Structure 1
Amino acid sequence: MQKNPANSFAELTFKKFNSLPKTGKPTKSEWTVLSSIIQVDSLTGDSKVVALGCGTKCIGKSKLCPLGLILNDSHAEVLARRGFLRYIYHQLKTKSNIFIYDNDSGVFRRKESIAFHFFSTQVPCGDACIVTDPTKGEEEEIASKRVKLDIVTSSDAGDVLTPDNKVFTGAKLIGENTLDPMHQVQGSLRTKPGRGDRTLSMSCSDKLSKWNILGIQGAFLDMFLEKPIYLESLNFSCDFDMDSMKRAIYMRWKEREHKSSRFIAQEPQIQLATQCSFEFSQDADKNASPNGLVWCDVPEEKVPYEISVNGKKQGITKKLLQSKKSSLKISKLNLLEEFLQLIKLNPHFKTKLGLKIDDELKTITYCELKQKCQEYQNSWKTLKESYFQQWTTKPENLLSFNLLSCNKES
């Protein structure tokens, strides 16, 4: 009998989690969500976890940082994906065993045998949690069509267990005309759950759906790669509704056209791990762990494992809270630095971005650089018009930092 791949991915993830230091992990009275990205080489048969994240927290709009130091979103899925970005940067900056540099095209080509898979211990917050009620299906569908597609310009764990053990999303509907932001409407975009100050971070269902079209590499890394990086499968060790999961990831956009030769909507395999359970899974009698954990497959000297609290490094003194020393390796600021270091190693990309001297790399802002990733940004703009009309827009001042200004603040 063929082994269920989801069970293998779960086993690999739990083994890696258990190998990490105990510091920062949940106590016996706490729970968390664990997510990972697994690399599989079909040629050799080797599989390994390359990034892992634990967390359930998200900060509100008023606490967002204009210097790129604080993580806005510390849900496990997002932490794992950010750790994955660090892993890819490391691969591109060293003698990679998964990428080959193509001198003719000037980009990195991923080896055909390499694929990436996603695993999580909980259903992603947002649309994937909303299960069709057979007695109210027609009513819910009508309600879904009535939701206004407003563009928004301006935490705690959110998915809650009910007495009958069904999970409902705490992610909130978007738009001023939404009478009940907690209404379990199918197919709608939502912001992350959180008590008090509302977040600007999109639900994990929505982020996974975006990555399913644009790839998980993001705008910066997309410049260096021949093709986007898509997740071949999504795997879960918790019960979930297959129809709801498919709807959240790709079915809700099925009839909407998106013309792009580079970015193509995927239909990944969605699988249940049946032989493993996570010891820190959500429990109504426990509190959500306040910590976020992130690990990625980079050398020890590059600090592969970090613990976060409120989007910053654990244990940072009050004096250093507004300095670069408080930021995690997966923060916007540090990933910007990774991007610029890679450009310095490949002058071809400096020319591609229209940058002439190294000093420009220190003064150009995060926002300006993102806009220079034109093919990705053009496709994202089109997607927001046709798929993701309600996707939140962060104030421009939160994206106007650069390496020079941040180092001065430090």
Structure 2
Amino acid sequence: MPAASAIAAAVLDRYDKLPKKGKPALRGGKRPEWTVLAGIVKNVAQGDTEELECIALSTGLKCLSKSQLPSDGGALHDSHAEVLCRRAFIKYLYSELELARAGKSKVLEPRKETGRFKCRESVTFHLYISQSACGDASMGALERSQPEDARAENESKKRKWEESNMVDVDRADGTISTGQDARPNVVLGDLIQPGLRRGRNDYAALGVLRTKPARADAEMTLSMSCSDKIAKWNVLGLCGALLSHFIEPLYLKGITVGDLYDHVALQRALCDRIEGLKDLSPGYRTTQLELQASPIPYNWSKASILQAHPDAKPVSGDASILWDANYPIDVEVITQGRKQGFAAKKGVWHEKARAVAAVSVKALPETLREIDMCSATYGECKAASTDYRRCRDILLRHKFMGWVLTPPEHERFLIATGTAQIVRGKSQTRPSSTSGT
């Protein structure tokens, strides 16, 4: 595996070259913004040498609450850096898919046996994160890093939120319930299940699923923690259900982490929890990651901001940026789940506020040819990826039983106007990373 410093430098150098729009600001030094940076680095082995390139990059700390979720697929539910980085990577893969069909991709090659494309053996992918993933991977490190006054303030916020929302807390297992008829293991529409915690509730519970956000005084979301999502990618791959129609599962080789690095916790959260799964579909597997700490600081992390401005009170940045190497001059800026620069008029968002990715009908795989793409929904196209869905069900049934699934009503938007535009002939619109949920 390439050195941690080389992987981190590839991402940080690329980030420094991007324009300022969407990046954190100092705000005069009194309330400076901070954020988390994530990047995926491609490593091409050439004999005894390795060629590193950052191919996808993002920043972000936000996610939409349950009440903010649109039903038309027009906004991202989760804008944490790791999740957005994977979306930028998927955008990168869609353009590589077009190159591969023309025999020009240096990443993908066809596999005749399956009719899909696979990653070339010389290519591996490595994830860099400026701060350890939220959820199980960082619970211990985060608690150790907090001063006593900050911990007391968080507990106070938590109690106020619970009281204002009529929340009962089962102190034995950390699960919560709301409303006059509150009962154990239920919160906001039966979201909380045994083995699932809300944010940072019950610090001592290790190896459990957790939802975002971590703040106890914030509204509940449907988004699982980044620790949980990365562990899921280590079984199902990075492609997701839609892209798996075209490409065989692609996996991370390793992860390089900056602040809050805890090797034992990362190993447990990202790898150990998924071990022992059996009967996965061909091409799917459980992955053991190579984990390493980055020696290079990210200047806009919370730790770096506090070191540079010890008297300041940092605030989390509202905007996220997304970038991929196949569109190097195009940086998407995201606020509240939508592309920056588009506003709702009379409650209706302009179609350009959401992503459009074109796919040729002639190039559709067999798994999608029985579906009328003019009327197909996002959910129907995901469900048609039967091998992916089967492996996901095995993972959730045997390892992640408390996983919060996106409600079906949020996946019923038409694929032709949401995540992808199906056109006859050649692809006419470049793919975007800000589509779907």
Class of the TM-score when normalised by the shorter of the 2 chains: 0.7 to 0.9
Give 1:323 shift.
2.8
Equivalent residue pairs, number: 360
Query: 1:361 is paired with a residue of what secondary structure?
Result: coil
DSSP-derived class of the 1:15 partner: helix
Q: Counterpart amino acid of 1:126?
A: G
Unaligned runs of 5+ in 2: 27-31, 159-172, 178-183, 187-196, 307-312, 422-437
% identical equivalent positions: 29
What is the one-letter code of the residue matched to 2:75?
Answer: I
Note the alpha carbon deviations across 1:329-348, whole angstroms, 9 max, x for none: 4xxxx4xx44xx0x52524x
Asked if 1:20 is matched to 2:18, the reply is yes
Mapped partners of 1:163, 1:39: distance in 2: 38
Q: Contact 1:34–1:55 at 8 Å: present in 2 too?
A: yes
- Secondary structure of 1:131's counterpart equals helix
Counterpart of 1:218 (choices 224, 240, 248) is: 240
The Cα of 1:203 is off from its aligned counterpart by 0.1
- Whether 2:350 is the aligned partner of 1:323: answer yes
Q: Tell me if the contact between 2:235 and 2:274 (Cα under 8 Å) persists in the aligned partners.
A: no
Tell me if the contact between 2:342 and 2:349 (Cα under 8 Å) persists in the aligned partners. Answer: no
Which aligned pairs between 1:4-403 and structure 2 lie closer than 5 A? 5-28=3-26, 29-43=32-46, 45-94=50-99, 95-131=104-140, 162-163=146-147, 176=177, 177-178=184-185, 181=198, 182-184=201-203, 185-193=205-213, 195-225=217-247, 227-254=248-275, 256-260=276-280, 261-274=282-295, 276-283=296-303, 285-299=313-327, 304-319=330-345, 322-327=349-354, 329=355, 334=356, 337-338=357-358, 341=359, 344-347=361-364, 349=365, 351-355=366-370, 360-403=372-415
Residues 60/50 of structure 1: CA separation in 2 closer, same or farther (3 Å cut): same
Going from structure 1 to structure 2, the CA distance change for 1:239 and 1:191 (only over 3 Å counts) comes to closer
Structure-2 separation of matches of 1:82 and 1:159: 30
Contact residue 10 and residue 119 of structure 1 kept, 8 A: yes
> 2 CA distance for matches of 1:62 and 1:161?
32
Change (3 A) 1:251 1:363: same
> How many angstroms apart in 2 are the aligned matches of 1:384 and 1:75?
22
Contact 1:232–1:269 (CA under 8 A) maintained in structure 2: yes
The whole-number CA distance in structure 2 between the counterparts of 1:173 and 1:60 is: 20
Greater helix content: 1
Counterpart CA distance in 2 for 1:109 and 1:273 is 30
Pair 164,231 (structure 1): closer, same or farther in 2 beyond 3 Å: farther
In 2, the alpha carbon distance for the partners of 1:54 and 1:355 equals 38
Distance 1:269 1:70, change over 3 A: same
Question: Do the aligned partners of residues 278 and 223 (structure 1) sit closer, same or farther apart at CA in structure 2, a change above 3 Å counting?
Answer: same
TM-score calculated relative to the size of structure 2? 0.76
Listed as ranges, the gaps of 5+ residues in structure 1 are 133-157
- What TM-score, normalized by structure 1, do the two folds share? 0.80
Task: Describe the SS at the equivalent of 2:292.
Answer: strand
Structure 1 residue 83: deviation in Å? 0.1
The answer to whether the 8 A contact 1:173-1:188 is kept is no
Q: How far off its partner does 1:166 sit?
A: 10
Residue number in structure 1 paired with 2:428: none
